[in-house]
Chain A
Amino acid sequence: MLTKQVRDGLATIVGEENVLDAPMDLVVYSYDATPDYQTLPDAVVKPRSTKDVANIIKLCNEFHIPLVPRGSGTNLCAGTTPLHSGIVMIFNHMNRILEIDEDNLTAVVQPGVITLDLIHAVEEKELFYPPDPSSMKISTIGGNINECSGGLRGLKYGVTKDYVTGLEFVLPNGEIVRTGGKLAKDVAGYDLTSLLVGSEGTLAVVTEATLKLLPKPEAKQTMLAMYSSLEAAGETVSSIIANKIIPATLEFLDQATIQAVEAFAGIGLPTEAGAVLLMEQDGPVEVVQRDMKKMKELCEAGGAFSVNVAASAAEGEALMQARRAALSALARLKPTTILEDATVPRSKIAEMVRAIVNIAEKNNVQICTFGHAGDGNLHPTCMTDVRNKEEMERVEKAFEEIFAKAIQLGGTITGEHGVGVMKSPYLAWKIGEEGVKAMAAVKQAFDPNNIMNPGKIFAKETRKRVMIQQ
Chain B
Amino acid sequence: MTDNQTSRAAELTKQFQDRLDYDELLNCMRCGFCLPACPTYRETKGNEAASPRGRIAMMKAVVDGVYEPDEDFENQLSLCLGCRACEPACPSGVKYGHLLEEATDILQASKQPSALVRATRWFIFTHLFPKRRQMRRAAGLLWLYQKSGLQTLSRATRLTRLAGKQLSALERVLPKLPSPKWLNNRPTHLVPQGGATVKKKVAFFSGCMMDTIFVATNDATLFLLQRVGCEVFIPAGQSCCGALHAHSGEKVKAKELAKQNIAAFEKREIDWIVSNAGGCGAILTEYDDLLKEEPGWHERAQEFVKKVRDISEILLETGLPEMELPPQTVTYQDSCHLRNVMKTVAAPRKLIQAIKGVTFVEMNEADRCCGSAGTYNIVEQAMSMQILDEKMKNVKETKAATIVTANPGCLLQMKLGIEREGLTDSLCGTHIADLLAEAVKYRDEHSSSQVD
Question: Which positions in A face B, CB cutoff 8 Å?
Answer: 22-25, 27-35, 38, 40, 72-74, 90, 92, 95, 114, 135, 137-138, 261, 263-264, 325-329, 331-332, 335-337, 385-386
Contacts and interface: CB of A to CB of B under 8 A. Distances in A.
A32 B30 contact: yes
Interface in B5-49: 23, 26-27, 29-33, 35-36, 45-49
- The DSSP consensus for interface residues of chain B is loop
B149 to A, nearest CB: 50
Contact of A138 (B35, B66, B67, B70): B35
Given A24-B70, A138-B35, A336-B29, 14 more contacts: A24-B67, A24-B73, A30-B61, A33-B29, A35-B30, A73-B30, A92-B46, A95-B46, A138-B32, A138-B36, A264-B91, A264-B92, A264-B93, A329-B92
Interface of B: 23, 26-27, 29-33, 35-36, 45-49, 51, 54, 57-58, 61, 66-68, 70, 72-73, 76, 90-93
26 contacts: A22-B70, A22-B72, A24-B49, A24-B76, A30-B61, A31-B57, A40-B66, A73-B30, A74-B31, A74-B32, A90-B46, A95-B46, A135-B31, A137-B33, A138-B32, A138-B35, A264-B93, A327-B29, A327-B31, A328-B31, A328-B33, A329-B91, A331-B27, A332-B27, A335-B27, A385-B26
Nearest to B50: A28
Contacts of B57: 27-28, 30-31
A27 B32 contact: no
A263 B73 CA distance: 33
Contact of B91 (A23, A40, A328): A328
Given A24-B67, A138-B36, A329-B91, A31 B30 contact: yes
Given A24-B67, A27-B61, A28-B49, A33 B72 contact: no
Contacts of B72: 22-24
B27 to A, nearest CB: 6
Contacts of A35: 29-30
- The DSSP consensus for interface residues of chain A is loop
A328 B35 contact: no
A3 B33 CA distance: 36
Nearest to B92: A331
Contact of A23 (B27, B45, B48, B68): B68
A32 B26 CA distance: 14
A29 B51 CA distance: 12
Contact of A27 (B30, B58, B92): B58
Contacts of B51: 28
Contact of B31 (A27, A33, A114): A33
B187 to A, nearest CB: 39
Contacts of A29: 48
Contacts of A385: 26
A27 B36 CA distance: 20
